Amino acid sequence: MLLKTPYLLFLGDAADPLAAKVAQGIKDWRPDQCIGQFRQENCNADLGIEDLTIAQACERGAKTLVVGVANRGGVISESWLAVFEEALNAGMDIASGLHNLLVDEPRLASLAEKTGRALIDVRVPQHEYPIANGVKRTGKRCLAVGTDCSVGKMYTALALEKALHKQGRAASFRATGQTGILITGDGVPLDAVVADFMAGSVEWLTPDNDAEHWDLIEGQGSLFHASYSGVTLALIHGGAPDALILCHEPTREHMRGLPGYTLPSLEQLRDMALSLAHVVNPDCKVVGISVNTASMSEAEAKKYLSDLEARMGLPAVDPFRDSAERLANALS
Amino acid sequence: MLLKTPYLLFLGDAADPLAAKVAQGIKDWRPDQCIGQFRQENCNADLGIEDLTIAQACERGAKTLVVGVANRGGVISESWLAVFEEALNAGMDIASGLHNLLVDEPRLASLAEKTGRALIDVRVPQHEYPIANGVKRTGKRCLAVGTDCSVGKMYTALALEKALHKQGRAASFRATGQTGILITGDGVPLDAVVADFMAGSVEWLTPDNDAEHWDLIEGQGSLFHASYSGVTLALIHGGAPDALILCHEPTREHMRGLPGYTLPSLEQLRDMALSLAHVVNPDCKVVGISVNTASMSEAEAKKYLSDLEARMGLPAVDPFRDSAERLANALS
């Protein structure tokens, strides 16, 4: 594992709960890994877990201080640095997904070296990945693909992991982005990997496994998103999924960050993703649809999902409103 | 431009003509840029251009010593270093596409700094590329896409440039690999670009241009190659081509480096590439086929190309045996 567990979650001076959404994600999906939270005086977020000092957290076995909050103004503030230094001195590693890298802070870098502790910037690839070899691996893999970026692919994969575990089945969420890596403690920051090694990094992330084990691979980008489609295709060809879940946000008016582009239909996504997946895995199937219905009423969402099921002939759920159980059932 | 012209081509102690194929490519495609060649005593390659000393080349205006030869044993030898130092001292930059970087040689690095000359490793991205914005640009773009890697995509794009220039039309080869960059003096080493910026680097490489100007974009990888398909898709979505040329090598038994994978048919390539290109450019068309018939007899090649034309309804040529004129005619 890249990160040592358990964690103390650093919320700092979070302006509001949204600023601490990374910490919230870790607490929601890996509650057992979270010893407590560290909040500064003017913190406006609260995960509802115990507030601990650095010393208390260490005493209870915390191994890593995880920066679970977005920083303000693009710098790591003096008050944060003081806490981070305290953590390093107390024997904790520090992990962060911030744009400003921990290793670029001279005070932290020298103290980490002195104390023998690690500064782990999960945005930066921490391994040398191979070039993909396209060789079939044992075990099963499911990949979430989206009509657009930010439509719930990570949430879907995490919810699927939870649902499979609830059914007593073997499954591992495989993180490909910063937040996912902080949640699981390991993964590949795919958008920062050098082009030639993208697919290889995904093969590395999803190695041979037991025949009935499911890797639930976090999707990135979209085949239909001009900026990031290459990353998505590397996920499909490196992941060689047995199952695809289509992810969608029905009220999105244009592709994220691309005002001139409308979203593809779910049929277009299904056909394109499946054709490309068949290059590496002829048995790949689209098994279900995950819809982010956050901006719909309960009744609207229910009708939308039911219409979609009829239209596509696939289970369609919002794993946040309901659960991913029916998607898990579709993984056979 | 990344590289200053004209060049002195360094052939060193090339074991055979194949070892100097980069130099050969530069001489073939940019003869006007080549002042001469520099060969060491035990060199077994000869471009048929004038042998010059460093001093003579400088006198005639050479600005860059281009390493046009593969090195032996994965190190830059003492005898090469001595020549490179002489070139730097004489006022030339040095450009290389070797795996061993020039900048990693302490003697060269310090001398380059002292003399104010540049060491340009074209494998390493030399710019910070933007994230792709998907906005339509003026001018026209043609992209070579292949059923596999190494099927003649670079050659095709260079031959198309030559054919268009012969017709008096405005056109620019746009290099996306090391050899192409050394030939043209500029470009993007796409396989070394970080995932998030791949498509953006291709947009950067093919900016707004005159309405009738053609960018001839060097292809990379293949949509059907598990290791590199993401790079290919970034080229399609970043390049937003108006025209696609399908490239193929008919005797290839499996995908390069992937023994378990057969090549797709040209029909599969056509349909897949076109569907993906239409995401960013609904007017994109497949306009022709470029076939590497090197391992066929003249008669076999002729029959293959003629059958292929009938089958696909597209001009099919081997630009090496013949010319790319008919492909150029198809760019309208």
Question: What's the per-residue H, E or C state across A174-206?
Answer: ECCCHHHHHHHCCCCCHHHCEHHHHHHHHHHHC
For B29-76, the pLDDT digits (tens) are: 999 999 999 999 999 999 999 999 999 999 999 999 999 998 877 789
Q: Residues near A299 by Cβ (< 8 Å), separated by ≥ 6?
A: none
pLDDT computed for residue A245 by the predictor: 98
Residue B66 C-beta-side C-alpha neighbours within 13 Å? 35
CB pairs under 8 A between A and B: 138
Inter-chain touch A234–B195, beta carbons under 8 Å: yes
In this predicted structure, which of A60-74, A184-198, B249-263, B301-315 has the lowest mean pLDDT?
A60-74
Contact residues, chain A, for B284 at CB < 8 Å = none
Contact residues, chain A, for B237 at CB < 8 Å = 226-227, 229-230
If phi > 0 it is left, if psi is from -120 to 50 it is alpha, else beta; for residue B71 that is beta
**How much is the average pLDDT of A305-328?**
97
**Smallest CA–CA separation between A15 and chain B, in Å?**
28
Contact residues, chain A, for B240 at CB < 8 Å = 226
What is the rounded average pLDDT for all residues in chain B? Answer: 97
pLDDT computed for residue B74 by the predictor: 75
**How much is the average pLDDT of A242-250?**
98
Q: Which residue of A has its CA nearest to B224?
A: A279
Q: Inform me whether the pLDDT recorded for A54 exceeds 80.
A: yes
* 8 Å CB contact between B238 and B202: yes
User: What percentage of chain A exceeds 70 in pLDDT?
Assistant: 100
Inter-chain touch A227–B134, beta carbons under 8 Å: yes
* pTM of the predicted model as reported, rounded to 2 decimal places: 0.96
* 8 Å CB contact between A123 and A97: yes
pLDDT computed for residue A62 by the predictor: 98
Inter-chain touch A195–B200, beta carbons under 8 Å: no
Q: Inform me whether the pLDDT recorded for B112 exceeds 80.
A: yes
* 8 Å CB contact between A131 and A202: no
Across the interface, of B224, B230, B280, the residue whose CB is closest to A195 is: B230
Inter-chain touch A229–B233, beta carbons under 8 Å: yes
Contact residues, chain B, for A255 at CB < 8 Å = 134
Q: Inform me whether the pLDDT recorded for A240 exceeds 90.
A: yes
Q: How far is CA B17 from CA B24, B42, B43, B94, B178, in A?
A: 8, 12, 9, 21, 19
* 8 Å CB contact between B168 and B242: no
pLDDT computed for residue A1 by the predictor: 82
Inter-chain touch B226–A233, beta carbons under 8 Å: no
How far is residue B184's CA from residue B174's CA, in Å, rounded to a whole number? Answer: 8
Inter-chain touch B238–A224, beta carbons under 8 Å: no
**How much is the average pLDDT of B187-205?**
97
Q: Is the dihedral of CA A207, A209, A211, A217 positive or negative?
A: negative
Contact residues, chain A, for B230 at CB < 8 Å = 195, 198-199, 230-234, 237
Residues recorded for chain A: 332
Residues of B with a Cβ under 8 Å from any A Cβ are 131-136, 190-196, 198-200, 223-224, 226-234, 237-238, 240, 255, 257-258, 260-261, 264, 272, 275-276, 279-280
* 8 Å CB contact between B245 and B145: yes
Q: Which residue of A has its CA nearest to B223?
A: A276
pLDDT computed for residue A71 by the predictor: 84
Inter-chain touch B279–A229, beta carbons under 8 Å: yes
**Smallest CA–CA separation between B230 and chain A, in Å?**
4
Q: Which residue of A has its CA nearest to B282?
A: A261
**How much is the average pLDDT of B121-125?**
96
How far is residue A121's CA from residue A98's CA, in Å, rounded to a whole number? Answer: 7
Q: Which residue of A has its CA nearest to B134?
A: A226
Inter-chain touch A199–B227, beta carbons under 8 Å: yes
Q: How would residue A74 be classed by pLDDT, with cut points 50, 70 and 90?
A: confident
Contact residues, chain B, for A193 at CB < 8 Å = 194-195
Across the interface, of A135, A199, A258, the residue whose CB is closest to B230 is: A199
Backbone angles phi, psi at B314, to 5 degrees: -140, 150
**How much is the average pLDDT of B214-232?**
98
pLDDT computed for residue B185 by the predictor: 95
* 8 Å CB contact between A318 and A293: yes
Q: Inform me whether the pLDDT recorded for B1 exceeds 90.
A: no
**Smallest CA–CA separation between B231 and chain A, in Å?**
6
Q: Inform me whether the pLDDT recorded for A303 exceeds 80.
A: yes
Inter-chain touch A229–B135, beta carbons under 8 Å: no
For B126-169, the pLDDT digits (tens) are: 999 999 999 999 999 999 999 999 999 999 999 999 999 999 99
**Smallest CA–CA separation between B69 and chain A, in Å?**
23
pLDDT computed for residue A75 by the predictor: 86
How far is residue B92's CA from residue A130's CA, in Å, rounded to a whole number? Answer: 36
How far is residue B332's CA from residue A235's CA, in Å, rounded to a whole number? Answer: 36
**Smallest CA–CA separation between A277 and chain B, in Å?**
10
Inter-chain touch B280–A226, beta carbons under 8 Å: yes
Task: Give the sheet arrangement for strand B7-12, strand by strand.
Answer: B34-39, B7-12, B64-67, B93-96, B119-121
What is the rounded average pLDDT for all residues in chain A? Answer: 97
**How much is the average pLDDT of B205-215?**
98
Contact residues, chain A, for B234 at CB < 8 Å = 195, 229-230
Please name which of A194, A198, A172, A174 lies closest in space to residue A186, comparing C-alpha atoms: A174
The pair of three-digit structure tokens given for residue B265, joined into one six-digit string = 């048919």
How far is residue A226's CA from residue B11's CA, in Å, rounded to a whole number? Answer: 41
Contact residues, chain A, for B257 at CB < 8 Å = 131, 133
**How much is the average pLDDT of B167-174?**
98
Inter-chain touch A230–B230, beta carbons under 8 Å: yes
Contact residues, chain A, for B258 at CB < 8 Å = 133-134
Inter-chain touch B234–A229, beta carbons under 8 Å: yes
**Which residue, chain included where needed, has tokens 């690095």?**
B109
Contact residues, chain B, for A198 at CB < 8 Å = 195, 230-231
For B244-299, the pLDDT digits (tens) are: 999 999 999 999 999 999 999 999 999 999 999 999 999 999 999 999 999 999 99
The pair of three-digit structure tokens given for residue B7, joined into one six-digit string = 């060049």
Q: Inform me whether the pLDDT recorded for A73 exceeds 90.
A: no
* 8 Å CB contact between B160 and B244: no
How far is residue A139's CA from residue A6's CA, in Å, rounded to a whole number? Answer: 28
Please name which of A183, A319, A184, A299 lies closest in space to residue A247, comparing C-alpha atoms: A319
User: What percentage of chain B exceeds 90 in pLDDT?
Assistant: 97
**Smallest CA–CA separation between A90 and chain B, in Å?**
36
**How much is the average pLDDT of A128-155?**
97
Spacing of C-alpha B282 from chain mean position: 27
Q: How far is CA B66 from CA B27, B72, B119, B179, in A?
A: 11, 17, 10, 11
CB atoms under 10 Å from CB of B45, counted, come to 21
